[in-house]
Amino acid sequence: MTMLNRFSPSALPQTALKNPEIRLLDHLVKDRGGDRSRRGTLSHHIVKVARLGGYLARAADPPPGNTVIWRGLSRLTDIDLVYGYAVSLLQERSPGANSFHCSRHQEI
């Protein structure tokens, strides 16, 4: 993922992430000011993954590396799993209570 980001930063985020993961990232990691034209790119979403892993994304910082992206992906997976568990509990109690769709779970 790191090399793909460095080779083709303006690619679509679907190159490396699934649509539900992109929506979850957009919900969890708020956009900073910056360049609005980059918001739909792979580079923008890789930085969001890296920010979950502890990357600070300051102006003078180098691009995120493998370790911080791995940490971010690990955290994103954990959040996705917990979300899926919570949705299944809510679904048992009150069907139709939530309409957010996540990568491993059916839309409710």
Quickly list DSSP for 59-107. TTPPPP-HHHHHHHHHHHHHHHHHHHHHHHHHHHHSTTS-----TTS--
Is 102 inside any structural domain?
A: no
- Is 40 among the domain residues? yes
| Cα separation, 16 vs 1, whole angstroms | 7
Higher pLDDT, 97 or 75: 75
Q: What is the mean pLDDT of residues 22-50?
A: 87
Q: What is the mean pLDDT of the chain?
A: 86
- Whole-number pLDDT of residue 26: 92
CA proximity to 100, closest of 44, 12, 26: 26
**pLDDT at position 108:** 38
Q: What is the per-residue pLDDT for 85?
A: 92
Query: Is 104 inside a domain boundary?
Result: no
What is the domain count for the chain?
1
Q: What is the pLDDT of residue 5?
A: 87
Question: Is the CB of residue 69 less than 8 Å from the CB of residue 3?
Answer: no
pTM equals: 0.79
Which whole number is the average pLDDT over 50-77?
95
Q: What is the CATH number for 82?
A: 1.10.740
Distance, CA of 85 to CA of 22 (rounded, Å): 19
Domain that holds residue 49: 2-93
Q: pLDDT > 70: what percent of the chain?
A: 85
Helix axes 19-28, 42-52, angle to 10 degrees: 60
Instruction: Report yes or no on 105 lying in a domain.
Output: no
CA distance 21 to 75: 12
Other Cβ atoms closer than 10 A to 102: 22
Residue 22 placed within a domain = yes
Inform me whether the pLDDT recorded for 33 exceeds 80: no
**Tell me, what's the pLDDT at 22?**
92
Residue 98 lies in a domain: no
- Residue 108 inside a domain? The answer is no
Confirm whether 38 is domain-assigned. Answer: yes
